[in-house]
Amino acid sequence: MSFSKWKIFYQSLLALMLVSGYAYAAGGRQDDTLQNIMSRLDRLEQNGGMGGFTSYDGTSNSDGEQSHRANVHAFDAMHFDFGGYLHTGMTYIRSDLGDFEHLSFNIQEVDLIMKAMLREDLMFFAALSFSYNSALDMEDPDSPFFREFCWNSCVDVAWANYTYADWLQVQWGRFATPMGIINIEHFQPMLMEALKPMFLRPHGGETIFPTHLTGLNVHGKVYMGDNDSMMIEYNAFTGTYDAGPINILAGARVAWSMMEIGLTVGGNFFHGKRAGGTFCGEETYNYTWQDIFSDEINDYNLVGIDVLWDWDHFIWKNEFFYSWEDDMANDIFAFYTQPAYRLNDNWLFFYRYDVLRTNPVNSNWRGSEHILGVNWLPYPNVRVRGEWVFSSTKNTSAIHQDNDIGVITGVFSF
């Protein structure tokens, strides 16, 4: 085993802890500045429903105002906002069975984000993604490896939204599928974790449900109770996705929120076809789905429940999904639970237990992960994340493998 690569990663992690510790000792709370920068991101999709920026890590605040930093008149639009972010980082992996280790600076992504208010009730939103990444391929759990660097550019989301009232809005174009919690957040500045749950990998690919759709989404929210202390949100959507352009999919989500105690409970349903094929988007961690899905096009249904509790210093995300195909050959079970603690405006710590398996009765493919993570926000527009992953997988050939994965990433927003 090469000691030098492990040493490089260890020294990088140690340097992060030392520098961040100094910043914590020297700096005070940054309530106003953190709220300002992250709320700028929130505002970009304030009127877009469940299609984009919504932060559940306590560093954002949606107040419905226009961004004042990049507000210009463009053509016939009332306002035009422009922003974006850089996402960069490195990954270290150590295999117990293969007795090897690898380290790669494999994450480079730039997203440009724009919003135009065409009228009081009509807006346009788009995010363009440019990436140069080396995916960590874990198809064979005995010998994971970093693929060659690949340049990719695509339209992450691009949609228009018409607002009749809070309870009735229509969104059309390419949008993030409004299912669960993390897929709705999906933009890197909004996430406390660089590594998404296993059921959402690869991003934009053939996952348990499509991470993006091109189609139509009818959505809205209704406030109830004293001082509007409760809210019901809904989404009813249909469309196609990258790997199945001729297959029409449909789904719905209903969520009930009790704002006074920070609790949101959502129910999800989805119906579609799995088709395989290529996808548009970058991916840094890859579990090859050919071991999970059948080779033939197949109808499937999916149900899911998600629970979010965001109260004081605590955040707790939970998502459960179960999918079954018509021939019952490829049932998929996915679940994670992710508690987190906000020490202050600069520090956040989290743990996640993540499970993905097919045919739970036969256990054809199984994967589980334990993740320990920390977020450091030294400045309002900078988020540094460190994660250590204890990964265990067993593929359809009954090859079992344990891997340790370390990830350090930085997200720089503007």
Domain with 291 in it: what CATH number? 2.40.160.10
pLDDT in tens, 152-164: 888 999 999 999 9
**Would you state the pLDDT for residue 152?**
85
Q: Has residue 344 been placed in a domain?
A: yes
pLDDT in tens, 224-274: 988 889 999 999 999 998 766 667 889 999 999 999 999 999 999 999 876
Round to whole Å and give the CA distance between 259 and 165: 21
Residue 245 confidence (pLDDT): 63
pTM: 0.78
| Number of independent structural domains in the chain | 1
Residue 20: give the domain boundaries. Answer: 3-29+86-102+161-413
Note whether residue 138 is domain-resident: no
